[in-house]
Structure 1
Amino acid sequence: MYNILPLCHFSEIFYEKPPLGCSLYYDRVMKKRARKIVALVGRPNVGKSTLFNVLVGRRKALVEDVPGLTRDRNYGECSLGDSVFTVVDTGGFEPTSADEILSQMRSQTMLAIQEADIIVFMGDGKTGLHPSDHDIVRLLQRSDKTVFYVVNKIDSEKDEALAFDFYTLGVETLFTLSALTGYGLRDFLDALSSEIPESTGAPSALPEDQELPRIAVVGRPNVGKSTLINLLLGQERVLANPAPGTTRDSIDTIVKRDGREYLFIDTAGIRRRSRLSDVVEKYSVIKAFQSINRCDIAVLLLDAAELVTDQDARIAGYAYNHGKGVIIAINKWDAIPKDANTADACIA
C-alpha cells in the first residue's frame, strides 16, 4: 500500500524549528559520546575515500579513479585498539575554484574542518605536489587543530622519493603510505591513535544500525531529494544543485522530531539502466537500491511537472516487493499551474 502526501505536509511531520544546527550526526554521536572527530581533507582523487573505508573497516564510501566522486561529508566509526573515534570523508577540496559544484564541496569541507578535532591532510604521491596543496596546508596551519600530513599512493619503499617535494610545504612530519596496499599505514595509525583518548567499553552502535527507524529518500535524478533532506535538517547538510546527478553516494543523517530520532538516507537519482552513462553512475544507482534494502520506509519523490513515470513505478515496485513501506511525495508543486482539482487529479 502506498501513502501519498503533498510534500508540504510531509515536511511538517518532521521539520522542527528552529533549525537544529550543524550536523545532527555530530550532535548525537560525537557530543553525546565525547568522541574525537577526524576529518580527511585534500584535493580531488588523492585517496581520501580509500583511507576512509580502511578506517571504518568496510566499503562505506564509493571509490573509483575519478576526480570529484565524493561530494558530501560521509561519517563513520573507527576503532584503533582501545581508541574509538569518528572519521569524516570529505569531497575534493579546491580552494580557489569558481565552479559551482566545487564551491559547494569546498563549503562542505570547511564545515568538516570546523567540527573536527584532528585533521588529516592527504596529498597524492603519484601526481606530485600541486599549488592547491600549498593553499590547503596554509589554511590548516592557521587553524587551532591537530593536523597530520600524509602523502598517499606511496605503494612501496621504492616510491618514497615521490614524496620529497611535499617537504617544501614546511611541515615537520610527513607520513608516506598507501591506503590501497597498506604500505606505511601502521606508523600513521599508531601516531593517530596516540592523539585519541582510550574509550571505556565497546564501541557504541552508530545510527545506521538497527536502533533507529530508517527512511530512504529515493527517486529519479533532480527531483529534489537533497533539497528535502536539507529542509528537514534546517541546514545545508548535503549538496543540492539543479544539475542532475549531483548526489553520487548514499548519505545517512539524523533528523529529530518530538524527542525521537530518525535515520534519513539521501540517495543518488535512479535512472533507467539503459540510460546509465558511466561506471560512477552505475555504482551510485547500486548504492541507492542498497539504501532501499536497508530502510524501513522509502519516500519516493516525484516531480510535479512529470508526475509518475515508468521509472517511478519501477522504484516504488522495488521497495514494495522488498517489504518496505512506501510514501509518495510530490515535489516542485509551486512550479505547475493549479486549480482546486489539481491535487485530487494527481492522487487519482
Structure 2
Amino acid sequence: MTEKDTDDTAGTWFDERDWELGAEDVAEAIEEASSPPPVVAVVGRPNVGKSTLVNRILGRREAVVQDVPGVTRDRVSYDANWLGQRFMVQDTGGWEPDAKGLQQLVAEQASVAMRTADAIILVVDAIVGATSADEAAAKLLQRSGKPVFLAANKVDTERGEADAAALWSLGLGQPHPVSAMHGRGVADLLDAVIEDLPTTSEVAAGSGGPRRVALVGKPNVGKSSLLNR
C-alpha cells in the first residue's frame, strides 16, 4: 500500500466506488444536521418513573433506573422512533421548585430541556397524586406554549385509572394512564405525542448557533493542509 492509498486524518478509500459511498454518507450527515428530528423532553419530580418511561419508549434499556430518587442528574438524549417518526427523547433529572445545591443544578438541566424541546411529557405518580411540585411544574408548562402530555404513571391495572383521572386538576388536559414498568398505555401516549410533533425540530431550526462544515475529498489531495490554513 502506498502513501497515496491512505490518509490517516480522513479515513481510507481504495477505489472510486468506496469514494462514492463516502460521499453518500457525508450527504446524509449534512441533510440530517440541517433537518434535526423533533425533541421530546420527559420531565417530572424525582422518582416518578421518568427513566423507566424513557426506556419503554426506546424499547430497550438505556436510561439508568434505580428505585431511589435522584439517579438521573443530567439530561440525556436518545434516538427514538415510533410508527416511522424519528425523534429524540430527553431523559432529565428530577425537577423541583426551590431546589438547593446539587438538586438546583439538576432542576436547571430539566428547565433547559423544557425550553429546548418541541413537546414535553410531564410524568406524575398517579398513586401519590398531584403534589405541590407537580402543580408548580404544570403551571410552568402551561406558559411554555408547547404541546404538553400528562403521563399518569404507575397505573398498572384498570382500577388505577381513577387515580389518573384525578390529575385533570393539574390543568394540562387529559391524563394518559400508563405503566412505564409494564408498558401499559405507553403506545396510546406515544400516538398522541407523535400526532402533535413536527417532522423536524422547530426549536433547533430556529436556535441559530455555529454552522458545521464538512471538508471532504479523495485521499492525499491536501484536506488536512487546507484545514491547517
- Indicate whether the TM-score tops 0.5: yes
Name structure 2 gaps, 5 residues minimum: 1-29, 201-210, 216-229
Residue identity matched to 1:48: K
Please give the secondary structure, in 1, of the residue aligned with 2:196.
coil
CA separation of 1:113/1:69 partners in 2, compared to 1, >3 Å: closer, same or farther? same
Residues 1:103 and 2:88 aligned together:
no
Residue identity matched to 2:72: T
Q: 1:29 & 1:41 partners in 2: Cα distance?
A: 29
Match of 1:189 in 2: 190
Q: Does the Cα contact within 8 Å between 1:152 and 1:177 map onto a contact in 2?
A: yes
User: Cα deviation per residue 1:159-209 (whole Å; 9 max; x = unaligned)?
Assistant: 11222431211232110111111111221111112123568xxxxxxxxxx
Equivalent position to 2:38, from 36, 39, 43? 36
Aligned ranges 1:100-179 → 2 under 5 Å: 100-179=101-180
Q: Larger RCO: Structure 1 or Structure 2 (Cα < 8 Å, ≥ 6 residues apart)?
A: 2
Equivalent position to 2:77, from 71, 75, 78? 75
CA separation of 1:31/1:173 partners in 2, compared to 1, >3 Å: closer, same or farther? farther
Residue identity matched to 2:67: D
CA shift for structure 1 position 258: 9.6
Q: 1:157 & 1:29 partners in 2: Cα distance?
A: 45
Residue identity matched to 2:167: F
CA RMSD of aligned residues (A): 2.4
Q: Does the Cα contact within 8 Å between 1:82 and 1:198 map onto a contact in 2?
A: no
User: Cα deviation per residue 1:294-326 (whole Å; 9 max; x = unaligned)?
Assistant: xxxxxxxxxxxxxxxxxxxxxxxxxxxxxxxxx
Please state which structure has a larger fraction of its residues in strand.
Answer: 1
Match of 1:334 in 2: none
Please give the secondary structure, in 2, of the residue aligned with 1:104.
helix
Match of 2:90 in 1: 88
Q: 1:169 & 1:257 partners in 2: Cα distance?
A: 42
Q: Does the Cα contact within 8 Å between 2:119 and 2:197 map onto a contact in 1?
A: no
Q: 2:172 & 2:148 partners in 1: Cα distance?
A: 10
Higher mean C-alpha displacement, 70-79 vs 188-197: 188-197
CA shift for structure 1 position 31: 5.3
User: Cα deviation per residue 1:185-235 (whole Å; 9 max; x = unaligned)?
Assistant: 221111112123568xxxxxxxxxxxxxxxxxxxxxxxxxxxxxxxxxxxx
CA separation of 1:185/1:143 partners in 2, compared to 1, >3 Å: closer, same or farther? same
TM-score (norm 1): 0.47
Aligned ranges 1:207-226 → 2 under 5 Å: none
Equivalent position to 1:45, from 44, 47, 50? 47
Q: 1:259 & 1:108 partners in 2: Cα distance?
A: 30
Match of 2:17 in 1: none
Percent identical among aligned pairs is: 40
Please give the secondary structure, in 2, of the residue aligned with 1:194.
helix
TM-score (norm 2): 0.71
How many residues are aligned here?
A: 176
Q: 2:59 & 2:143 partners in 1: Cα distance?
A: 32
Match of 2:226 in 1: none
CA separation of 1:120/1:30 partners in 2, compared to 1, >3 Å: closer, same or farther? farther
Q: Does the Cα contact within 8 Å between 1:29 and 1:35 map onto a contact in 2?
A: no
CA shift for structure 1 position 126: 2.2
